Amino acid sequence: MNAYRMKPLAFPWPPLIYGAAIAAAFLLQAYFPLSVAETNVWIARAAGGILVMTAIVLDVWAMRTLLDCHTTILPNRCSTHLVTSGPYRFTRNPIYLGYTLATAGIGLAMLNPWCIVTAMIAAGMTNAIAIKREEMHLLSRFGIDFERYCNGTTRWI
C-alpha cells in the first residue's frame, strides 16, 4: 500500500489557508488601504452577501453529499468512496470553491478589495498544497473510475 492510499494530507490545511487569507486581507486593508468608490456601495454589499450565501449552500450541500455517501469530510482522512453526485457532478472541489467564494464575498460585503486578492492566492495555495495530493490519493484508491470522473468534471468551475 502506497503513502497516498493512507491519507491525502497530514493536516487539514485548506481551512487554515482561507482563514489566513481573510486575516491577511484585513491586515493589508489596515496598513495599505485600497479605496472603494462610494457609489453603489449597497450593490457591492448585496453581491458579497449573495456570494457568502452561495458559498454556505455549496459547502453544506457538498458536506451532506459526502456524509450520505459514507465517506469523510476531512481532507486529512482516507476516502472510502468516490463521490460523483451532488455538487461533485459540477466541480471536483465544491468545498474549496465555497471557501473561495466566501472569502471574496466577505471582501465585497465589507468593502475590502484585498479579500478578492487573497481569495485567489488562497485558491492557488490550496491547489498546490492540498488538491494535488488529494487527487493522487483518489487516483491510487479508485484508479480508472477517478480518471474517468476527472475527464468529465472540472477541478474548480
139 Cβ neighbours under 8 A, 6+ residues apart: 4, 146, 147
pLDDT(4) > 60 = no
Q: pLDDT, tens digit, for every residue of 80-114?
A: 899 999 999 999 999 999 999 999 999 999 999 99
Q: pLDDT, tens digit, for every residue of 123-149?
A: 999 999 999 989 999 998 999 999 999
SS3 assignment for the chain:
CCHHHHCCCCCCHHHHHHHHHHHHHHHHHHHCCCCCCCCCHHHHHHHHHHHHHHHHHHHHHHHHHHHHCCCCCCCCCCCCCCCCCHHHHCECCHHHHHHHHHHHHHHHHCCCCHHHHHHHHHHHHHHHHHHHHHHHHHHHHHHHHHHHHHHHCECCC
Q: pLDDT, tens digit, for every residue of 51-85?
A: 999 999 999 999 999 999 999 888 888 888 999 99
pLDDT higher for 106 or 7?
106
